[in-house]
Each structure stands twice: as C-alpha cells, then as structure tokens.
Structure 1
Amino acid sequence: MSTRGALTSAFAAQDPAHARLVNAVAVTAGMLLSALFGQFVIHTFHAETGLLAMAIFLSVQAGGMVKDATARGRLLTTALLIPTLVAAVATAAFLSTHGPLVIVGFILIAGAAIWSRRFGARAAAIGSLGFMGYFFTLFMRPSAEELPAFALVAVGAAAAQTVVRTALLITHPRRELKVLLRELRAGSAVALRVSGTAVPGRGVDANTRALRSALRRLDQVGRAITSWQHRFQTDRHVDVGDQTLAQWVLDARVDTEEACAERARQGDRPAPDSAALDLRARGESALEVILDDRAASHRVQAARDVAVDLIAQCQTSIVDVETYLLARCALSHVRLRGIDIARGRHRTPVRTPVGAEHPGTVEHPMAADSPRPATPKAAPATPPRPKMRWTAWRSWEPTTRMAVQAMIAAALAAGVGDAISASRWYWAVMTAFVIFLGATTRSGIFTRAYRRVAGTIIGIGIGVGAVTLVAGETSLLVAIAVVAVFGMLYFGPLNYLYASVFITTMLVSLYRMLGVLDGSLLELRLVETLSGALIGVLCAYLILSTNSRSVLLGKADAYFETLEYLLRAVREGHVTDRAELMATLQKVEDAQTDLAQAVASMSAALAIGGPGGSHLQTDEVRLTGIATRGAARFAQARIRALEEPSRGTAVDDTVDVVVAQIVPAAQAMRAVLGEAAEPGVGPMDPLSADRRSDASPVIDHLRELPSDSPASRDAVFALARIDWALRRIVGRASGLREPRSRRRRAVDAGVAVG
C-alpha cells in the first residue's frame, strides 16, 4: 500500500463533519479566553493564584456540558449559564455562614442537578454547572473581600464560552456538505481497498475486523449527512431535493458495502476466466477514478461511460457479480459527484422519469421532491389533572431515583473525603457526582466509575511523565494543559475513560504550575477518586436500585419492533413512496444506534456479570448492525422497484413470501426478550414451528424471479442477510445452536460480512 493510501486508510471518515473537532477547538478557545480573563482579575484584585485553575476548569465544564442540537440552542444555553453561576455563587456564599444549611444545600443541589436531566439537555447543563459553581464556592471559601474577584472569574468562565458560541453561529453549510461527500468517497475507497487486499501477517479475523471498521466509518458519514439535512434545508444549498440527496447517499453506501462484501468473498470462490477478470479490472479502474477527488472531469466522465457499459453487459448476462457491483457502486458515486453544491435548486420541480433513479440506467436526470401537503394537526385534548398519590419507587423516573442516590452519595463522599484529607475532600465528592452524569442505569454508573478510576491512574502516569520531560517550563506546562483539554473534548465523547485520562493530565500540569505537585498529592488524588467512585457505585446498587437488564432489553425490543414494522409496512402496502420508506429506515438505524450505545455504556458491568459476557453482547450488536445494513439494502431495492415499470404480480408475490418468512424471526426475538425480562422463565424455542416446517432458505427464492427485475433480486438478497442475522441473534438469546447444513454454510459465507 502506498504512503498516501496508508494515510487515507488511517484518517478517512474518522470525524464526519468535524463536529467533535469544531466543538473541541471552540471550547479550548473559550478556556484560553477564560484563563486570560482570570489572570487579569488575579492581577487587578491581587487575588490568590488558585483562581486560575478554577477559571480553566469552570470554563471547560461550561463548554463541554452544553449538548443542544442546534448552534442557536447551544448559544442560548451557554448564555443562561452566566446567571446560573451568579446564583450558585451567591447561594453558596450566603449559606456558608449558616453552618449545617450549607451542607443541606450542597446535597440538595447535587440531587437537583441529576433530576433536572429529565427536562432535556439545556436543563441538564444548567443543573450540572450550578452544582459546579456551588461546589467551587464551598471549596474555595472566599471571604467578603475576595468574593467580587471570585464571582468575576466564575462569570468570565461562562462568558468566554458564550463569546465563542456566538462566533460559531457563522456556519458554512455548503462547505460542510462538500467535506461530508468527500469523506464518503474517501471512506468508500478505504473500504474497497481493505476488502480487496489481505494485509500480510494478519489472519482472516483481523482482515474481517478491518473491513467492519471501515464500513462503520461509512455508516458514521451517512449519519452525519442525515444530521446535516436535519440542520439545513437541502434545496437551498444544492440543486437536488431533500429526499433525492438522502436516497443517493443511501445508494452509495449500500452499493459500496455490497461490492466490499463480494470482494471479501472472492477468496472462497473459483477464479473467473480471463474475460471476466478483464471486465473486473475495468470496473475497478473506473471506480477508482470516480472516488479520486483529484481526477479531472473528463476522466470521471470516461469512467462513468465504462461503468454504464459494464452494467449493460451484466444486465444481459452477469458473467461476474463483483464487476456488476463495482459498476453499480461507480454510478452511485458519480451521481453524488454531479451534485452542484455552489447553488440551490431554483427551478420548478419536475417528475423524475420512471427508472431514472436506477443506478443501472444510462441517464440520471435530477429527481424532484414533490412537496407533501401539510396535514393539519388537531388541537390536543387537555388531559385530566392527575390526583396526587404516592408512587412506588420502582415506577419512578430513572432521573428521580438517581437524584436520591446522588444526594446520598454526595453526602457520604463528603464525609469520607474529609476523613481522608480535610483539604482535598472535594475530589471524592466530584467523582461521586460525575459518575451519575450521562448514565441512566446502575450498570452505566458502574462502567463510568470504572472508567473514571482507570482514567485517573493512566492520567497520573501520563501527566507525571509529561511534566517531567518539560522540566517545569511554564509555557510548556500551559501547552500540556491546552492539549489535554482538547483531547478531553475531542476523544471524551467516544469513551469516558479518555476524558478521565486527559482531565487528570491537565490537573497534573496545573498543580505543577502552582508548585504544589508531589507524590503524596497524586496518591491522595487516586485514593479520593477511588473512594468517591466506590461510594457512588454502592449507592447505585444498594439504594433504590433497579436491574439494568430491563433497560437494555427495552432498547433491544425497540430495535426489533422498528425492524419488524419496516418489513410489515412494505408487505402490507403501508409504505407507498420513498419518503415514507426512508423515514422508516431512519427509525431502524436510530434504534440500532441507541442499542449499540446502551451496550457500550454498560460494557464494564456486562464484562463482569452480564448475561453471556461482554463478548456475546458485542457480537449481538454486530449482528443487529448486519440486519440494519440489510434493511438499508432492502429499502434501496424497494425504492427502485417502486420506480420500475410493472413486472407483474409474480415479482411482488415472491418478495411478499420472503418477507412473510422473515417477520416471524423478528417476532421471535421480541418474544425472547419479553420472556427474558420475566424472572424465573427459562429459555424458549421461538423458531421451533419454523424448523418443523419445510421452509426453504430465503436465497432459494431467487429462482422464482424473472431475470429483468434487478430491484426484486436485490430485495431478496437483502432479506437473506436480515434473515441470517436475526436467526443467529435469536439462537444466542434463547440458548439455541442450529445445525448448519452445507447449504446453510454457503449462505452464511454469502451474507456474514457486515
């Protein structure tokens, strides 16, 4: 692999739309502004230098806790943090003279910060930063003379982030989409390269994992483009409509994945003859040109003509499946390259000719998105006022239960932390509080606690090594702190362990700048963190505790419900146009993402005591990803079938039969989950009726389709992939292990890459 290819493989599609990068740069810039303002306040008021650390920490929290969906929403939330900090500082300063009341307020604000998460991202950010402001006031204990400088530093921390958020209102939607489409091509090129070449010295499993990783990057880009379409009006910035862009991106993703899967399977099949190899080489060369952003327009046009010619030959007689899929992939990507991002669509929409959306046709006129008439909404009926009654705590909202747990944990951590160190007790309290943020189950709290402790240990090692290398040079210590803040914001959303590593590294550099860093301090940091984490976990498991399994099963059930709905809606004719089909598919992808995130957030707890262990849970999530990709392929095929000339009822009947054969597998999975949620119920055999029948494998239905119906053929291939994944998930969940016949092994080899 060339140097350029290696770099592309490493970085292509890693950070779609650069959302995390932009946020990390913005918050880091706000932190620097806050530090400069804090230094100015310290110099002007002759305040203690410890306020500088508070200015940095509060500013990072003020920027990192804001999670609103839009730029304007994030700006408003950040602006609201200014009066929040003023109120928190004033309340803490007032209560600090009233003995026990200050501790009561401390416990109540900890619970309120957790409970406020039920009202959305804005309330969660306000509540969390309110706790931080109260906490730092309680910890620093400013006197009446020091309070103005203290309040100015706190306000400046949020104000600096507000200034940066204001600058972020200047958006460049066309440039964002251009970057995204370029990332889509780069990610596709990497996936195709990985699927077509075996890496020396690596086994089959390693190569399969590399391909799965490349396809996951491609999925990330697809989701980023969907997010872009939610934030901006598509036809104001490009010359195609919203549904057309969404469909073309779906076509490119699915066709790329199918080409990758076929290339990955070629090692298990007989080598084609020289004529087929020549056609395949032409398809590979054409696709390589189309995916190369530096290719001249005349070369792209020539590559498109080659792909059209290959499609025409393969439609008559498919001499090589890989050639056909490569050509389809090339045409899907060349359509995206033809989008004009320099201007919006300023012409009257026209109906797209039948068949124009098919990637195998020679011409691809721009499709029109006919506006759908708005359905008037009926005024919602006013619900009756509920009567006040005591509710059993097991039916409380998770945020309410966790608020009680967090208050008790904060109180206990304050006492234990003070017993360990009267000057550093706040580390225990902070840990006990933050492990409740971002978690909704006790398994999630345990996982965050584990990552917090592990990250602290790793961060201490990295921080000590870094400050030792710079030999106390102040400018380099500042650079370490800035890099650590950036790393926390950039990598933290991926895994809380990374956030803990970087924030500990930042604190080590700050303490070195303040001249208080020594071995006993770091040991104390670790002990206090461990104590706070242990107290938080014990409170989560022993006080108002509920099983996390029901939450995980609920996410899984929601996924299989949406997948079943997609299949049923197509079969029963409830989905009649591409807009509805794309919306239904988006629900399936969102549900699968929620399930994957739920499993990831509980990974540590699942590894210790979860059903089947973390490996099994991870493998099941991978299987749902395969089913979701199959659903995307199925949706793509059905959209094309809707736009094809009528092929007769035999085609629709065949697809209906296949869908009817698969729906019971999704129903069986929901039945397994329902029984698993009931204690004392043993495993069941949800597919026993299906096994007793003589139902043929899904792939065998291809023989019933006419040769001139490529969309229906693709639909059956996609349904075979969904069926393969669902049956294996059901088998794992119910403790079943199906015997694999020679035919089943052949089907497995055909659909297992995902």
Structure 2
Amino acid sequence: MPTLLTLFVNALPAPTRRSLVRADPGMLRTARGARAMFAFLLTLLLSLLVGAIAGVSVLDFLIGFPVTVFCCAAIGDDETRARIGKIAALALAAGLSFTLSALIHSTWTNHIVFIAVIGAAAYMRQYGGPWIPVGLAANVAYFFGAFLQPDTEMLHWQWGGVVIGAACALIVHQLVVPHRPWRRMRWSVIAIRMRLARLLATTAAFEPGGNSKPLRGQLDRVAAAVTIAETELENLPGGRLAHRPLAEALIAVLVLAERLALQTEGDPARACAPETRAAMRALSEALRCDRPLPRAAPLEPLADAIAELDRARQLPPDHDAARSVEAPPPAPVNAVLRPAIQSASAAALAILGGAALSHDRWYWAVITVFVMFTGTYSRGQALAKSMKRTFGTFAGILVAMGIVWALHGDVHAALFLMPVAIFCVFYAYIQSYTWMAFWITVVVGLLFSVTGRFTDQVMLLRLEETVIGALAGIIVATLVLPRRTDVHARDQFNALCKAAQDTVEAALPSGALDRLALTAALHDFEAKLAALREALDPLRLIPAPAAMRQRDRTQRQLVLTSYWMHEIALAVRQMDGRKGWPPPAEAQCAAHDLAGLLSMIAKPGYAPDADPGDDGRDRPLPQEESDPVRSLLRAKKGLAEAMIETARMLTDRSRQSRAFRF
C-alpha cells in the first residue's frame, strides 16, 4: 500500500521528482521532516480539542510539542517494538525533566540542576541506543520548564501534553509516514542513478587543465548516495548479510564511478576521447530519463554494474546465508568523563554569561552549548560548530524579520508557515547544522509573532545569546580537557588502518574466500573512513591557504584509499567468480606485506619519512586491467602509497596548517 509520502512524490512533475530524489537519497530527510511536521500539526489539533473540552489553554500542553517533534526526528527504528520503546523512554524523560525543573523555584538551584542534567546526558550519550533521544529530550524539557515556570497545580496537564505528543508521534510513525525499508532502498538506487548521470555529464565536459572541483564534487555525491544505500542494507529483512549481492553491486558501481572520475582528472585527454565523451553523454541521458542503458565499449562495465544493481535490488533476502554467520558481540563502550565535564562546564559558563545579559532568555546560550558538544570530539570541531551556529542564527534572524514584516501581524499566515519551517528544520537536521540553526531561528520568530511577543530587540538578543554560548563552548573546548584536531584525526586514522588491515585479510584469507565476511569488513572500513573525513571537516571552514591545501591533498588521498580498497574487493570477487581461487603466491605475498605495513602505520607515534618530492598525488591513474590478478597487485600498491601519504599529511608538521593543530 503506497504511503502518503510516496503518493506525494509520485504526484510531482517528473523533473521535480528527479531533483527531489537526487538531492535526498532514500528520501530519509524528507521523511524525517514530514513526520515532524505532521506530528506537530496533529499534536496542535488534539491539544486544541482537549483544551476546548477541559477549558484550559493550549499552553498547558506545551511540552507535548518538543516531545512529538523529537520523537519523529531522533527516532528512526524500523522495528515497531524498538520504536515504541524509544518513544516511551523519550516521553518519560521529558516529563520527568520538565517536572523537576518546574518544582525547583530557586533560580540558582535550578541552574545547578540543569548543569547536572546536561553533564549526565552528555555522559550517557556515549552508550548510544535510547540514551541519545532520552538525553536530548531531558535537556530540552528542562529548559522548557525553567522558561515557562508552570503552576505546579497544572503540571498534570503538561503530562497530558507529553502523552498527546508521544501518541501523535507514534501515529505518524505507524500510519502517516510509515517506515518502508525496501522503498527507501529503491529511492536510494534511483538517487545513485541520477547522481551518476550528473557525474557522467560533468566528466564528458571536463577539459585538460580545467577546474577539477566540480568533478570531485559529483563523485562525492555519488559516494554519499552509495553510502546511504549501503547503510540501509542493515534495515532490510535479514540485515546486511542477507543481501550480499546488493552490497557487492553497490561497491561495484562506486569503484567504477571512482575509476572514471580519477582517470579523467588525471589524464582527461586519454580518458575522454571523442567517442568516450559521446558514450558518457548517451549513458547520462539514459540514466536521467530512465531509458535502456547503452553499452558502448568504453563504459560497458559501468552500464553492466548499474544493470546488476537494479537486478540485485529485486532479489529476495537470503536468510540462510545471514544465519550461517554468527553475529559478533557488540563492541564494548569505553565511556569517559571528558564529554560530561566539558558540556557541564560550558553550560555553567553560558548560564553566567547568558543570565548577565538577560534573565529571561539565558537558555538560548545554554542550548547553543548543548548542541555544540553533541558529536564533537576536538577543539576544531567545537570551533566549526560554533561558527555554523552563529552564522545560521544570524541569517535566520534577518529572514525571520523579513517574514514577520511581510505578514503585517497576520497570525493565521504565521501559523500556516510554522509547520513548513519545522519541516525544513528536520530536513536539515543531520545534513547541515548551519541550515538547521537558520530554520530554528525562523520557527522562533514565527512563534513569537503568533504569541504577539516578536520584536527586533528579542531577535537580536537571540543572536547575542547564541554568540555567548558559542564563546563559552570555544573557551571550554580550549581550556578544559582540550583535544587538538590533529590528535583526534590521528586516532581516527589509526582506526582506519586497523579496518583496512582487516579488510585486506578478509579479501585474501588463507582458505576460501568468505564473501559475507568481506562485505562486513568493507562496511566497517567505510565507517572508519567517514569518521576520519569528519575529523578533518573543520579545515573546510578555515580560508587560510595552508589549511585549504592540507585539506585538499588529504581528501585526495582518502579518495584514492577508498578507490584502491574497492578495487581490491572487486578483483578478488572477479577471481572467485571465474574459479581463479586461490590467488597466486605473489598476490598472497603482496597482501601479507600490505597488512604488515598497515599494522606498522597504525602504531602510536609512527611517522613516515620526509616528503620524497614526487608523492604521486598528481600522477595520472593507470588504466584498468582486464586480468584481476594484475588489478589486485596494482591496487595493493596504490593503497599502500595512499595510506603512507595520508599518514605523512597527518604527521609531517611542514605540511600541516596551524588550524590543524588547534
């Protein structure tokens, strides 16, 4: 049965539908935003109805609104039982936290307890699972209670709001925008096809000496769509291991896309001969318009890989294969006190600064701190988040002022726009922190307009409080248990080396090839690679030439690392499929040497020799080999070079920027 979201997407004009699916692989952000929007509307309607019957104001149910939107935004389990359990835990945490805040009437006692709640939430967040939404709800509900200061005799109505919000969220999850893993996978594959079409068109237009950033950008978008689809495998019936052909097809498409982009960037004159450019344009148009794929000689492997991806997506799950592999025990959680101490210290500093500026709106500074230290592991990440939060808030204030001015006090128009803005908040919830801060500020402006409290001074106060919170976070990240960006990046690189070593050993085991084990090892490798890229992300916001040069060169090596690892996986699968197993002794020897090199690179304190001059970063990528054994040997050499060069970029101070050592 088609869902409301599916009906909406299918009703769009074809160009609009393609753009929407291409921009949001799996429609994950669209579904999250739609759930939050519909849950908000349903909670508002039920609160008005119950309020009219009981003769109380909708404000007496106010805590239900953050409960319902966060139940939709922070909880995405496909299993109904897990979803209900997390919704119940979030709602209970929100109700208890709100009640605790409302019962503590002493201002500074309230502040001290708030600091303790923030520290406890930051500590428990390390355990993952339900603790993440529970901590989020506890913090938001506590400041709601401190801000509203409700009459204790009316607290039972707020608990009614909690129940209403949780019930509405569950209804939306189950009935309005239900979870359909297979449909998300279908949309993810469509997004991959659309992004491949863009990559092919960009590659066909690339000229020698041209700007390679658009080409790299299109490759990054294809890789992001493949990563989303690969992550969605875990949500399909039977899990990832029950869909090995689909996992292998996704990697095959990605490695061929990486090969095409890297070869074109390195030697466009050879990679983009006139007949090749024509084949690229034809395949791009066929992908964009969903027509039969042409199989011109230069791009036949890519066309075959896309066709195999479409075929593998329709295969039933292999539950027997999944059951044949014993699930590894969950990794132990090494919880540390550093996140709790930093979050609590920054919250205390933000309360002091925020309350000195305004006794009524200090909580905006604390919210900034709380969000800053969520998923932040280094000083550079804290600085980057503070910049994004401040810029997004500033831009949101300007737009909110313009909207309210254009509405001329029209409450109904503001009420109509609020659900749209809430949708945009949670559409950007994970994708862009800047846009999320922007849309949250717009929602705040519309809310103040509806309640008749909007003034330019209040919005400017929001910016000032945000800046105070950002400064408090930066000060604490710098002085209290600081962790430099380069130290965090090196830790993530060591984890990547270990994952790469495990993947190489799974690709060339001493016995028969276990393709399920290789699929699982590749997934772990991709996760560690993404974590290292995230650790380097603060350099993207620093306009200094040294930071930009280090970021670009390191990212180039990480792209090569990803490509060569995927080539290794593709080569051993071809050998296994062609009955070429076991591989020759030279391949086994090369794998042993590579595993030893990766183990040595990952040792604490390891630093490669100084820059040899020609590090190969501008060397054209070799053309593909038809023999999988030669492809395997070449990929192992390329992976070793890329990993050593990445280690050099992370350890050689002469090639580091000052921002990297912040």
Q: CA RMSD of the aligned region, Å?
A: 4.3
Task: Describe the shift of the 1:204–1:75 C-alpha distance in structure 2 as closer, same or farther (beyond 3 A).
Answer: farther
Aligned residue number for residue 631 of structure 1: 565
Q: Give the letter for the 1:426 counterpart.
A: Y
Task: Describe the shift of the 1:60–1:736 C-alpha distance in structure 2 as closer, same or farther (beyond 3 A).
Answer: closer
Matched, 1:327 2:300: yes
Aligned residue number for residue 255 of structure 2: 254
Residue by residue over 1:368-418, the C-alpha shift from the partner in whole angstroms, topping out at 9 and shown as x without a partner, is 98677455999x9xx9xxxxxxxxxxx9944x2332333343334334323
Residue by residue over 1:200-228, the C-alpha shift from the partner in whole angstroms, topping out at 9 and shown as x without a partner, is xx9722xx222222222222232233223
Aligned residue number for residue 336 of structure 1: 309
Q: Give the letter for the 2:91 counterpart.
A: I
3-state SS of the aligned residue for 2:229?
Answer: helix
Structure 2 counterpart of 1:29, from 32, 35, 38: 38
Task: Describe the shift of the 1:160–1:531 C-alpha distance in structure 2 as closer, same or farther (beyond 3 A).
Answer: same
Stretch deviating more after TM superposition (50-59 or 717-726)? 50-59
Structure 2 counterpart of 1:506, from 436, 443, 447: 443
Stretch deviating more after TM superposition (584-593 or 425-434)? 425-434
Structure 2 counterpart of 1:120, from 128, 153, 160: 128
Matched, 1:15 2:24: yes
Task: Describe the shift of the 1:720–1:698 C-alpha distance in structure 2 as closer, same or farther (beyond 3 A).
Answer: farther
Structure 2 counterpart of 1:204, from 203, 210, 230: 210
Unaligned runs of 5+ in 1: 311-322, 350-367, 384-394, 677-682, 692-696, 739-754
Residue by residue over 1:519-575, the C-alpha shift from the partner in whole angstroms, topping out at 9 and shown as x without a partner, is 221222222222222223323333344445433211111112222343355456367
Q: Shift of residue 73 of structure 1?
A: 2.7
3-state SS of the aligned residue for 1:186?
Answer: helix
3-state SS of the aligned residue for 1:204?
Answer: coil
Structure 1 counterpart of 2:635, from 713, 718, 722: 718
1:309-708, aligned counterparts within 5 Å?
323-324=297-298, 326-339=299-312, 341=314, 344=316, 373-374=324-325, 397-398=335-336, 400-568=337-505, 570=507, 573=510, 576-600=513-537, 602-603=538-539, 607=542, 613=547, 615-617=549-551, 619-646=553-580, 652-656=584-588, 659=591, 666=598, 669-670=601-602, 674-675=604-605, 685=609
Contact conserved, 1:665 with 1:730, CA < 8 A, in 2? Answer: no
Q: Shift of residue 115 of structure 1?
A: 1.8
Task: Describe the shift of the 1:196–1:512 C-alpha distance in structure 2 as closer, same or farther (beyond 3 A).
Answer: same
Residue by residue over 1:90-143, the C-alpha shift from the partner in whole angstroms, topping out at 9 and shown as x without a partner, is 3233333x6765444333222222222122131122122123222222221122
Q: Give the letter for the 1:223 counterpart.
A: T
- Looking at structure 2, the residues matched to 336 and 445 of structure 1 have their Cα atoms a distance apart, in angstroms, of 40
Aligned residue number for residue 268 of structure 1: 269
Task: Describe the shift of the 1:25–1:195 C-alpha distance in structure 2 as closer, same or farther (beyond 3 A).
Answer: same
Contact conserved, 2:116 with 2:344, CA < 8 A, in 1? Answer: yes
Q: Give the letter for the 1:624 counterpart.
A: L
1:138-287, aligned counterparts within 5 Å?
138-167=146-175, 170-198=178-206, 204-205=210-211, 208-233=212-237, 242-263=243-264, 267-269=268-270, 287=283
Contact conserved, 1:33 with 1:160, CA < 8 A, in 2? Answer: yes
Between the aligned residues of both structures, percent identity stands at: 20
Contact conserved, 2:414 with 2:450, CA < 8 A, in 1? Answer: yes
Contact conserved, 2:343 with 2:369, CA < 8 A, in 1? Answer: yes
Give me the TM-score of the superposition, normalised by structure 2: 0.83
Q: Give the letter for the 2:251 counterpart.
A: L
Matched, 1:136 2:144: yes
Residue by residue over 1:456-502, the C-alpha shift from the partner in whole angstroms, topping out at 9 and shown as x without a partner, is 11110111122222333223212332222111111131222211111
- Looking at structure 1, the residues matched to 179 and 17 of structure 2 have their Cα atoms a distance apart, in angstroms, of 27
Task: Describe the shift of the 1:616–1:142 C-alpha distance in structure 2 as closer, same or farther (beyond 3 A).
Answer: same
1:101-112, aligned counterparts within 5 Å?
101-112=109-120
Contact conserved, 1:71 with 1:165, CA < 8 A, in 2? Answer: no
- Looking at structure 1, the residues matched to 19 and 486 of structure 2 have their Cα atoms a distance apart, in angstroms, of 36
Number of residues of Structure 1 aligned to a counterpart in Structure 2: 639
3-state SS of the aligned residue for 2:203?
Answer: helix
Q: Shift of residue 626 of structure 1?
A: 2.0
Task: Describe the shift of the 1:603–1:489 C-alpha distance in structure 2 as closer, same or farther (beyond 3 A).
Answer: farther
Q: Give the letter for the 1:631 counterpart.
A: M
Q: Give the letter for the 1:725 counterpart.
A: A
3-state SS of the aligned residue for 1:188?
Answer: helix
Task: Describe the shift of the 1:373–1:337 C-alpha distance in structure 2 as closer, same or farther (beyond 3 A).
Answer: closer
Q: Shift of residue 25 of structure 1?
A: 0.7
Q: Shift of residue 24 of structure 1?
A: 1.2
Residue by residue over 1:323-344, the C-alpha shift from the partner in whole angstroms, topping out at 9 and shown as x without a partner, is 34x1112222223344583x74
Contact conserved, 1:243 with 1:369, CA < 8 A, in 2? Answer: no
- Looking at structure 1, the residues matched to 20 and 305 of structure 2 have their Cα atoms a distance apart, in angstroms, of 23
3-state SS of the aligned residue for 1:121?
Answer: coil
- Looking at structure 2, the residues matched to 666 and 687 of structure 1 have their Cα atoms a distance apart, in angstroms, of 19
- Looking at structure 1, the residues matched to 338 and 132 of structure 2 have their Cα atoms a distance apart, in angstroms, of 16
Aligned residue number for residue 4 of structure 2: none
Q: Give the letter for the 2:220 counterpart.
A: R
- Looking at structure 2, the residues matched to 271 and 614 of structure 1 have their Cα atoms a distance apart, in angstroms, of 29
Contact conserved, 2:201 with 2:280, CA < 8 A, in 1? Answer: no
Task: Describe the shift of the 1:575–1:735 C-alpha distance in structure 2 as closer, same or farther (beyond 3 A).
Answer: farther
- Looking at structure 2, the residues matched to 292 and 544 of structure 1 have their Cα atoms a distance apart, in angstroms, of 51
Give me the TM-score of the superposition, normalised by structure 1: 0.73
Residue by residue over 1:672-693, the C-alpha shift from the partner in whole angstroms, topping out at 9 and shown as x without a partner, is xx327xxxxxx651788x99xx
Contact conserved, 2:200 with 2:283, CA < 8 A, in 1? Answer: no
Task: Describe the shift of the 1:491–1:146 C-alpha distance in structure 2 as closer, same or farther (beyond 3 A).
Answer: same
Task: Describe the shift of the 1:664–1:501 C-alpha distance in structure 2 as closer, same or farther (beyond 3 A).
Answer: same
Contact conserved, 2:51 with 2:58, CA < 8 A, in 1? Answer: yes
- Looking at structure 1, the residues matched to 587 and 621 of structure 2 have their Cα atoms a distance apart, in angstroms, of 11
Q: Shift of residue 507 of structure 1?
A: 0.5
Task: Describe the shift of the 1:466–1:724 C-alpha distance in structure 2 as closer, same or farther (beyond 3 A).
Answer: farther
Q: Shift of residue 628 of structure 1?
A: 1.0
Q: Give the letter for the 2:356 counterpart.
A: A
- Looking at structure 1, the residues matched to 115 and 251 of structure 2 have their Cα atoms a distance apart, in angstroms, of 50
